[in-house]
Structure formats: structure tokens, C-alpha cells
Structure 1
Amino acid sequence: MPILPALAVVLPLLLAAQSIEEQEWHLDALDVYSAQDQARGDGVIVAVIDSGVDAQHPDLAGRVLPGTGFGSSKGTDGTTDTDGHGTGMAGIIAANGKNGGALGIAPGAKILPIASADEKEQFGLDVVAESIRWAADHGAKVINMSLGFSSTMTPTLVKAVNYAIEKDVVLVAATGNEGKEVSAPANIGGVIAVAGTNREGKPWKSSNIGADTVLAAPAEGIVTAAPESVYSSGYAEMDGTSAASAIVSGVAALVRAKHPAMPAKDVVNALIKTAKDLADPGRDETTGFGMVNPMGALTAQFPPVERNPLLPEPKPSTPQPTPTLVAQRPEQPVAEMKDRLPFVAGVVGGTALMTGLLIALPAITSRRRQPVSARDTPPTPW
């Protein structure tokens, strides 16, 4: 089953004077304002593979480029969002923060929306693969994937990830929200798999974890933009690794803006090397290398790396034997290698179900969400 229906919960409003930006507690927790004195994401395109992005939202005005659509969104430019998840992720990354609205991590960045999911359709991993390739071919320097599938990665998806890495793209994905193993595509080598933390900086209770976890970021009570067609206030509060992934994508955009000549592999290295350990020293299954550290990643200096540090070491080539003129056996036919069939969840025409953050499914408690307004009080920490 797909595993990223992130949560959204709000409590009754009490603090009438609090703006949306003031409710974004993660900005202070990560010292984002200091980081924005160093860079604001200008000149960086961040692709958001999601449900589309509402380009008309005031907090995203001038931030959203024409994109594209796949699956049921084929033929669109990705700039509408009937679900809300994609707009929420775009807001976390690049909202402009005007007039007390939502402020993104990298408000100078541009969003390239790729509509690949909505609440009515079922999509396979190959649709995500197609979206990754399109983003890499259309100027994306960072690709945010706040989505995932509890499935075996398919060859097509792995090839798409490798293609984007070769095109010098930083790929970021959420680990998932079921408290299980890291989902695809976050579990593919080279992708920054982001787990979630709560307000106290502890692991968020529903975050997927495992050896593939790379970084952690806030995933609880994250206030962001939402389409007014979905929530009349234009805002929603979200819990989930979807939000954590978007935060890390925003930080990656800041680094790429400050160091435009820095290759993606060195951006990934900077994010990893400057992360703040949350558990025992070194990498762990719950929070990876630690909490993403915007200021550290922007200001630290490391020597260039030879490859993306999340990729496995290349295998040494095996010396080939010198051919001889002695009698040799004739070549034997090689059996045709069959591709491993992709895992399929909720089989309907061979696709895997993918669900967005703000989908209205009241019977499923893990998908709770409500709109928030500038008058709402941030929820009590879990």
C-alpha cells in the first residue's frame, strides 16, 4: 500500500493575534531566519512531484512555473490542485511570507509542479519515475517527493533516480508515515530519505525508519498554504514525513542558491556532514545522520567528493583472462534475464495506490486533517 497519507490536525482557535508565519514553529527551531540572511533560494528550481500546486495562492504568487501532469493529470501544466497536498509542500519550500502568510524555507526559489497524483486515481511507481525524468530534463536542481510506496523498487524507478543524479539533481523523499520500513523512492541509493521529528526534536512516532534513513526534519504541526478550494482559510496544519521532506528540499535549495557552482553530490555531502546528531554519534535508523542544519550546510566548507555519498562504492573491475589459441568450448547461449516484476499494492490494472496528504477520508483516522486560519492556536505537542 502507499504509505504517505500525512496527517493534519488542529485545535480550537485561541490566539487571535498570531499570524500564519508565527505559527510555523519549525522556522525558529531550525534557525531558518539566519539561514535566509545567507541565501533565499534565488535562481533555484525545485520540482514538486505531487498533486499539483495552486499557482493562484497568494503565498505562492510568482513562485510557480508552468509544469506538467501525468496519470489523470496528463495534459495539464500542474498549476491547479484539487487535493491540497502539493500546494502544502510547495508552501513549506517556497511560500513568500507576505502579509503574515506562510513563509517557506527558500522563498526565492521557483516551484516546478508535476501533477502525478490525486485522491481519485491510482498511480504506479512508473508514473513517479516518468515525473523524475521530466523534472531533471526541465531545469530542476532539487526534486521533492513527499510520497511513497511500501513496495519493492522497480528497475524503471531506479533508472529514473540514477538519470536525475547524472543530471546533477538533488533528490529528496519522505520515509513514510506507518512506523515501518523506509518507503520507495526514499529507499533508493542516492536519494535523501527524510524521517520526521516532533516539537521536542525527538523521533515522530509514526515516522518510517530503517537503514536507508538519511536525515530528520520537523514533521509535527507544520502550518503551510492550502488551496482555498480545499480549505476556505487557505491554510492547513500537517503532520507527516511529507512535510519533513519538503523542509529538507527547501534547505537544499538554499545551499544551491548560495553555491550555484556546487555539484549536487557536494550539496548532499554538506547536508549530511552538518546534520545535528539526535541519537548516538553517526548514522542511525531513526534519524539518519541527524537533524537537517540549514546554517551549517550553508556555511561549512568541505573538499569536493568523488560521488554522491549515498551511493554504494563502485565495484572494482575484474581483470579479464588473456585469450589463448587453445581449443575452446563454443559459446553457450545465455538465458534471457527477466526483469523482476514490480510489487503492486491494491491491484487495479497493475498500479499501486498513492494517496495525498489532505485527502478527505474520515473513516481512516491516520488521514485526519482540518483547515487552519491565522487565528488558530498551534496544537499541543504529542
Structure 2
Amino acid sequence: MSFTRTLRAVGGAVVAGALLFGTAPTALADQDRDDQWPLKATSFDAQKVWKESTGKGVTVAVIDDPVNGSHPDLQGNVLPGKSFIDGGRGDSKSTRDHGTAMASLIAGHGHGAGSADGVMGLAPDAKILPVATPEVGIGTDAGGLGSWIRYAVDQHASIINLSMNPAAVTDSDKQAVAYAVQKDVLVVVGAGNDGESKLSDLASVPGVVAVGAVDKAGTVWAKSNSGSQLMLTAPGVQITSASATPGQYRLADGTSDATAYVSAAAALLRSKFPHLAAGQVVNRLVKTAGLPPDQKDVQLPDPHYGYGFIRPLRALTADIPAGSKNGPLKMPQADSSASTGGAMAGNKQASGTNSGGLGMGAIVGIAAGVLVVVLIIVVIVVRQKKNGRNGPPPGGPGGFGGPGFAPQQAGPYQQQPGAPGAFPPPPNQHPGQ
């Protein structure tokens, strides 16, 4: 499957400058932590957040480049996962930084004395399930995005982070998202970095949480895509994260980083409120989201902000009713097996229906019943002629249908299409709506 790395291009363009931090003396390692402005922002206030939840017990699948599980800021928090590049593990070293960077924003724990150096993720006790994906035209898996999502779900991830923009989204991919939603897995997707008034195809799929990027002031990043299905925004400008090379760090802009922060916030909530469904987790994020002062009168959801930028501390501490299971999520169609079965049943019924609305089987049954009745009448008439005027026909008084004579013509009508209980109703194509 052909993929474009739109959500990765911006980060890649600025990595060279960010590598200066990686080669700096140890004393400057604290600078990397200081550069993580979202952790100190009033909307996050990470030190207070971690008193409420650290994401413990939650697994976040990062469908991306391989994640370097030996990076000192991630060591111990990365599961083996799987590589759909070579069939091996997903926690391997790579020349590509993006997967490790996203994992560090979600579940980095820093390193050194008191873990004071390096990158800290918003959910530092969460586990990362790395699902390593190929670049364009490379890899061993023909299933593409759909099979990667299904793998993550089947490995018991409760959140899937998709900081990528596929060149095309297939029906199989959409069915995989529906599968994730059915299994109560939250799918978080970047809006895209094209500065367009249109979300990426993947971010437009029903069932996902589409995320845009904002800067330190809470203003939408100029290249963050917008659209009516945008759900939330999060920090995505001048974001420091871990490089795939241990000891090195990167600085990037993009909805990729914003997506990772929303996935991390969801991990915090799923850890503290394990009884909440995925849609109810999103509901808490939406109900506690914020806007900059100059946007306080904007009508929500806004195509640029969604419901606003995430405020994890409020989401963890506010008194918010759980609400409906699906929350603000737009539900996808049923999985392929249900939709295919429904379509096949519909086609069969249509092909076997005449202008009068009776199925072919019913017509054959009616004809057989009529033939039986005609034959009985003929036999009775013949016997009457033979016996002369010797009384009523056999079967007792009352003639046809009387006692002792079953109404033969009734049988064929009992299985007519449309009769109560004759056929199951068509499958529900929009579960949860």
C-alpha cells in the first residue's frame, strides 16, 4: 500500500537543527526537558496531572516507524510489537525517528538522576505497542493499514496512535477502524499538515478522533488542516521529542505531535477511569477542552479548533457525567461481514421478486396448492357422478374445509416474503446510532 508521510515531513525537515541538542554536553540535557513547554503549560500542568494518573496499565499502539525500545527515555516502556517491514519485532533500531518520537511524547520517562534528563511523556507509565510500518513500496504485508489496526486491537491496545497520512484509505481500512470501535479501542489520527480546509482522508473516517495542532498561545498552527470532523487540538509547534538515536533529540512542528499528546491524555483517563468506554473518554476531553481568549465566542465544534485544545488536568478532575457510550464520536458502519451479508440478502430478495411483490418460492407454492385443490375437486365430482345422489362428499358435513378435511390451500401462503417472522430483518448498518 502506498503511503505518504505528510504528518512526518515537517518533523523531518527540522531534525538536523534538533540534533545539536543530542551532541551537547550532559549539562544541556536538562535543556531538552525545559524545552518541553506543553508539560509546563497551564493547560497541562504535568506535575499535578501525574498525581492523578500516569497512564499505568494502559497500552498505546503506535502505528508508525519502528520504536527504539533501548532509548534511555523509553527503556522498559516498549513492548516487542511487530514489524510489518520485515516480520520481526517493532521495537527495533531504525534510521527513521518518527515512531520513537511519538512514543516518547506518549510514554517517555526521561533518564538520569530522578529521571530529570531527556524527554518525559505525558503518560510516563503507559506501555507502547510498536507496530512498525513500511515506507512507500516497501514491506511484506499486503493488508496495509487495515491489518495493522487489527493487529493492534488483537494485541489488546486500548488506544491506537496514527500520526500518519495514507495516500488512500480503502474500505478494508474503514472496516478495521469499525472493528477497533466495536472492541472499545480509541483511534486517534492527525488532521494533516497541508494547511487545507479539508482533513486527511484517514482523519475523516467515522469513529476516529481527528486532531489539529496549536502553538504556545493556543492559536491554531497555520499548516494544521481543518474541517467539520475535527474533534480536538493539542500542542504541535516547537515540540521536543526523542530521536531514534539514543542521546539525540528532535524539534518539530506538526499534527503528528498533537496526536501523540491526545493519545497520551486518553491513556491517563483510561488508567484512572477504566470503566469508561472509549467514547466516554473522548467526552471528558471534549467537555474540558479550552480556547484562547480571542476565540471564546466561537461556535463549537469549530473546523479549526474542534471543541478546543486538550486540558488533561481538568479532564482528570472535573465532575463530568459519563454520558452515552459513544460520546461525541461519529459511529462507523458495521464490519465487512455484516455489511456484505446484508447486501447479499438484499440482492437475492430483489432478484426473486415479481411486480406483485411475491417471491419466486411463494409463487411456486401457490401454484402447487391450486393444483391440489383442482385435483380434489375433480375427484369429488367424479365420485358424485359415479354414486349419484348419495349425500354429501366424504369428510362430514360442511364440505371443503369442514371437520375431517384439512384446508390444503393454506400451506403455501404461510411462508410468503414479508409475513411476520418469515425472514430476519436486514442487519443494522449503523450500530450505536
Tell me if TM exceeds 0.5.
yes
Pick aligned residue for 1:259 from 251, 259, 273:
273
Post-superposition shift, 1:20?
1.6
- Given the superposition, is the C-alpha separation of residues 96 and 328 from structure 1 closer, same or farther in structure 2, using an over 3 Å criterion? closer
- Given the superposition, is the C-alpha separation of residues 249 and 186 from structure 1 closer, same or farther in structure 2, using an over 3 Å criterion? same
Aligned twin of 1:80: 93
Aligned twin of 2:10: 7
Post-superposition shift, 1:123?
9.9
Whether the aligned pair in 2 keeps the contact of 1:52 and 1:80 (CA below 8 Å) is yes
Whether the aligned pair in 1 keeps the contact of 2:58 and 2:157 (CA below 8 Å) is yes
Alignment of 1:1-382 (within 5 A): 2=4, 3-8=6-11, 9=14, 10=17, 17=28, 18-29=30-41, 30-70=44-84, 72-99=85-112, 100-118=117-135, 121=138, 126-149=143-166, 151=168, 153-180=169-196, 181-228=198-245, 233-278=247-292, 279=295, 280-300=298-318, 301-312=320-331, 328=357, 330=359
Whether the aligned pair in 1 keeps the contact of 2:278 and 2:326 (CA below 8 Å) is no
Whether the aligned pair in 2 keeps the contact of 1:146 and 1:173 (CA below 8 Å) is yes
Post-superposition shift, 1:22?
1.1
What's the Cα RMSD here? 2.8
Which stretch has the larger CA shift, 43-52 or 184-193?
184-193
- Amino acid paired to 2:330: L
Say which structure is richer in helix: 2
Whether the aligned pair in 2 keeps the contact of 1:44 and 1:253 (CA below 8 Å) is yes
Structure 2 distance, partners of 1:308, 1:273, is 10
Three-state SS of the structure 1 residue aligned to 2:120 is coil
Which stretch has the larger CA shift, 162-171 or 28-37?
28-37
Aligned twin of 1:350: none
Q: Which has the higher contact order (CA 8 A, sep 6+)?
A: 1
Aligned twin of 1:318: none
Structure 1 distance, partners of 2:357, 2:322, is 50
Post-superposition shift, 1:304?
3.0
Post-superposition shift, 1:40?
0.2
- Given the superposition, is the C-alpha separation of residues 138 and 214 from structure 1 closer, same or farther in structure 2, using an over 3 Å criterion? same
TM-score calculated relative to the size of structure 2: 0.68
Structure 1 distance, partners of 2:357, 2:74, is 69
- Given the superposition, is the C-alpha separation of residues 172 and 327 from structure 1 closer, same or farther in structure 2, using an over 3 Å criterion? closer
Query: What is the number of equivalent residue pairs in this alignment?
Result: 317
- Given the superposition, is the C-alpha separation of residues 272 and 6 from structure 1 closer, same or farther in structure 2, using an over 3 Å criterion? farther
TM-score calculated relative to the size of structure 1: 0.76
- Given the superposition, is the C-alpha separation of residues 124 and 238 from structure 1 closer, same or farther in structure 2, using an over 3 Å criterion? farther
- Given the superposition, is the C-alpha separation of residues 256 and 207 from structure 1 closer, same or farther in structure 2, using an over 3 Å criterion? same
Structure 1 distance, partners of 2:142, 2:265, is 26
- Amino acid paired to 2:216: R
Post-superposition shift, 1:120?
7.3
Structure 2 distance, partners of 1:155, 1:134, is 17
Structure 2 distance, partners of 1:242, 1:313, is 23
Three-state SS of the structure 2 residue aligned to 1:214 is strand
Post-superposition shift, 1:330?
5.0
- Amino acid paired to 1:35: V
Structure 1 distance, partners of 2:141, 2:227, is 23
Post-superposition shift, 1:150?
5.1
Whether the aligned pair in 2 keeps the contact of 1:63 and 1:111 (CA below 8 Å) is yes
- Amino acid paired to 2:182: E
- Given the superposition, is the C-alpha separation of residues 135 and 36 from structure 1 closer, same or farther in structure 2, using an over 3 Å criterion? same
Post-superposition shift, 1:32?
2.1
Post-superposition shift, 1:126?
4.8
- Given the superposition, is the C-alpha separation of residues 196 and 65 from structure 1 closer, same or farther in structure 2, using an over 3 Å criterion? same
Question: Any idea what the Cα deviations from partners look like across 1:168-204, whole Å, max 9, x if unmatched?
Answer: 1111011111112211322111211110112221111
Structure 1 distance, partners of 2:139, 2:332, is 36
Structure of higher CA gyration radius: 2
- Given the superposition, is the C-alpha separation of residues 22 and 109 from structure 1 closer, same or farther in structure 2, using an over 3 Å criterion? same
Question: Any idea what the Cα deviations from partners look like across 1:247-300, whole Å, max 9, x if unmatched?
Answer: 100000000111112221211111111111343141111111100110121112
Question: Any idea what the Cα deviations from partners look like across 1:286-322, whole Å, max 9, x if unmatched?
Answer: 11110011012111222331424221599xxxxxxxx
- Given the superposition, is the C-alpha separation of residues 202 and 150 from structure 1 closer, same or farther in structure 2, using an over 3 Å criterion? farther
Three-state SS of the structure 2 residue aligned to 1:161 is helix
Three-state SS of the structure 2 residue aligned to 1:5 is helix
Identity among equivalent pairs (%)? 37
- Amino acid paired to 2:275: A
Structure 2 distance, partners of 1:67, 1:41, is 19
Post-superposition shift, 1:224?
0.9
Whether the aligned pair in 1 keeps the contact of 2:218 and 2:291 (CA below 8 Å) is no
Structure 1 distance, partners of 2:174, 2:332, is 17
